Structure 1
Amino acid sequence: MGENKVNVLFSDLDGTLVHYPKEFLHYADIIEEVAATDNTPETATIRYHETNESRTCVVLSSMTGGKAYLSLRTNELISTLRDMDVLFVIITGARSSTYVGRRDYLPEADYEFFENGGRKIAEGKLDATWSDQFKEQVGEIADRTSLSPDMPPPEQRQGTLWGLYKELLDDGWKLDGRKYTTNFRVDVAKSEGKHTRDLNAIVETKCAPLSLASSYNLGKADLYPAQSGKANAARHILQLRQIDSKDAVALFDDDNDIELGSLCGRGFLPGVTHDSVLEALKKHPEWRVSKRMGFLGTEEALEKIIELRCAALKDMETNAVGSHV
């Protein structure tokens, strides 16, 4: 495959840059919390049991997931990569309202995709035209200026995605379409009398004819337009910025990231949160799972990516000098 120049880093959020207490409280404690003020976010200090290493984190909220934690050190490392002319792209499954609520405290990014690639921000501004390509699936998004527009209830919307939503709702599935514009979520565990195999059968028979796709995120199934998805968002950026996929790096952890990880020349996983990722690891020797957990695992991955970028820059400098000899 050759050396990766690390020209772009595509990163997931939940379980990758951002971590939840349900994940980290078995190896770390929250030892100090500082309430938010008018000018500063809520912060917390996390300390690891075995090593006593600690990290100061910004505390982020979500509609359903409770508090999430992002270490300041993670933000610093990403800033270092951007200073080294690495394009940084966030691609997350988060719903619009959750992403907008967190955005001020996330690492600065060149491009941002949320709702599994259904919504796009380019250089700080909403790109409403990006979502236009999904009109057949999600209907018209009337407000073209808001990152989290007010929408009718999912069952009242137009498009093949919402038609399937209504069908699943009538069939007794536990669904969540709140504050989503191009995606909805299925909670199989809370769908009485339903099983993962039942949903998989629906996905296999109904999604493709409706130009829809599905993947698992945070233990729940997301359904969205087939033209969106994390890998398609990444392909768009690679084409737009004329970057070879072998010079791209993915930072990820979950089932909905597998195609993205497969697209890129290298993959780094701070952790693994779905069995499908464990299976995919067997086929991808270019993927590396961090030895450490949580925040330290994220930092380990980012530090390795920085090392790769330093080596690539050195090689490019050497080659440039050699070409003039």
Structure 2
Amino acid sequence: MDKPVIRAIFSDLDGTLIHFPIWFEKHGVSMSDADHEKHSAIVTNAQGESRRCRLLPKTTMGDGVVSDRTVELVAQLRKAGVLFFIVTGARKSTVLERLPFLPDADAVVGESGSRMYVEGKLDEEWQQRLLPVCGPIDRAMDPESRPEPLWKFCSLLKARGFNVDTRSYFGCFRVDTKGDLEAEKSLRALISTEMPAEINWAMNLAKFDFFPAGSGKQNAVAYLYADTPRLTPPLGASQFVNLCAGSHAHTVAQMRTQTQAAAFWPQTRGVRLPLR
């Protein structure tokens, strides 16, 4: 039986396309010649192989890099007709700061699914679906004053003493328990007893992300899949849309069209996401 032709790739960012010294240095990979003005650096693996990379604006994670080779290969995939989507939990400011240095994509999803750009513009239909739970996606209003269920729950958690992060979030917020097991236990108890049904949550970089139940990365992927004519009719039960995912210390797995090409190195695992 012929292998199915890959028609789309949905990729995360941190630990997948973007890598940080605090992760890769543990595996014998080093960064040199970092030039923040030119946004460039050289990354060398344990075998002495070097790649020129794009140095991203600094975040709390430090210096992030994405290889020129990754950008080149994504461009080749798109030229061959493979759709490429970025799906990340990153906040609005981080997404917009990174975009000029990332591979071109058919759509970019941020805030754990709540913010969606298709061909550079916010997808209004998607945002309307989430409006009753999180409100307008670019509203200039303090989170404490937002009346929707997501932000009321956010205020409740803040009042209970949790470390709540709302900076540049409009359809999501984050809670960091900083490894405190008792705090995490208390948070999970509140999730079970007081979180409204129209809110969901997921772990992201060891932190808790909260967002509308209709949002989330998987729902965003399913929406893009159903809304993209080139991906219909739906995949059969034995077929999958590929979601590239890497561990924190590794780089994106091999991307394939009808031929095989390594996007970066070393290799990582690939995760297949069934859409039902």
1:159 to 1:25, Cα distance in 2 relative to 1, 3 A: same
The answer as to whether partners of 1:5 and 1:248 remain within 8 angstroms in 2 is no
Partner of 1:133: 129
Partner SS state of residue 180, structure 1: coil
In the TM superposition, 1:100-119 aligns within 5 A as: 100-119=96-115
Partner of 2:191: 203
Alignment pair present for 1:58 and 2:68: no
For 1:64, the aligned partner's letter is: T
Partner of 1:251: 244
Distance 2:219 2:93 in 1: 22
Partner SS state of residue 100, structure 1: helix
In the TM superposition, 1:146-165 aligns within 5 A as: 149=138, 151-165=140-154
Deviation at 1:153, TM superposition (A): 2.1
Deviation at 1:213, TM superposition (A): 0.8
1:151 to 1:67, Cα distance in 2 relative to 1, 3 A: farther
Partner of 1:319: none
For 2:121, the aligned partner's letter is: K
The answer as to whether partners of 2:34 and 2:55 remain within 8 angstroms in 1 is no
Partner of 1:22: 22
Deviation at 1:35, TM superposition (A): 3.5
The answer to which structure has the higher helix fraction is 1
Partner of 1:168: 157
- 1:187-235 per-position Cα deviation (integer Å, ceiling 9, x unaligned): 01177x843222222223333x341111111111100001011111111
Partner SS state of residue 178, structure 2: helix
In the TM superposition, 1:67-106 aligns within 5 A as: 67-106=63-102
Partner SS state of residue 189, structure 1: coil
1:110 to 1:103, Cα distance in 2 relative to 1, 3 A: same
The answer as to whether partners of 1:4 and 1:247 remain within 8 angstroms in 2 is no
Partner SS state of residue 214, structure 1: strand
Query: What is the aligned residue count?
Result: 253
- 1:5-63 per-position Cα deviation (integer Å, ceiling 9, x unaligned): 21111110111110111101122111212232xxxx411101123x1011111111255
Partner of 2:117: 121
**Unaligned runs of at least 5 residues, structure 2:** 261-276
Distance 1:227 1:63 in 2: 28
Distance 1:32 1:82 in 2: 30
RMSD between superposed Cα atoms in Å: 2.2
Partner of 2:271: none
- 1:96-131 per-position Cα deviation (integer Å, ceiling 9, x unaligned): 000001101111011111111111111122223321
Deviation at 1:247, TM superposition (A): 4.4
The answer as to whether partners of 1:62 and 1:98 remain within 8 angstroms in 2 is no
Distance 2:95 2:151 in 1: 21
Distance 2:140 2:66 in 1: 29
The answer as to whether partners of 1:151 and 1:179 remain within 8 angstroms in 2 is no
Distance 1:238 1:157 in 2: 31
Moved more, 174-183 or 57-66: 57-66
Partner SS state of residue 5, structure 1: coil
Question: Equivalent of 2:225, from 209, 229, 238?
Answer: 238
Distance 1:93 1:62 in 2: 17
Distance 2:58 2:113 in 1: 18
Partner of 1:33: 34
- For the pair shown, the structure with the greater C-alpha radius of gyration is 1
Partner of 1:44: 41
1:186 to 1:111, Cα distance in 2 relative to 1, 3 A: same
Distance 1:161 1:118 in 2: 12
The answer as to whether partners of 1:19 and 1:70 remain within 8 angstroms in 2 is yes
The answer as to whether partners of 2:127 and 2:136 remain within 8 angstroms in 1 is no
Distance 1:63 1:120 in 2: 21
Identity of aligned residues (%): 32
For 1:221, the aligned partner's letter is: F
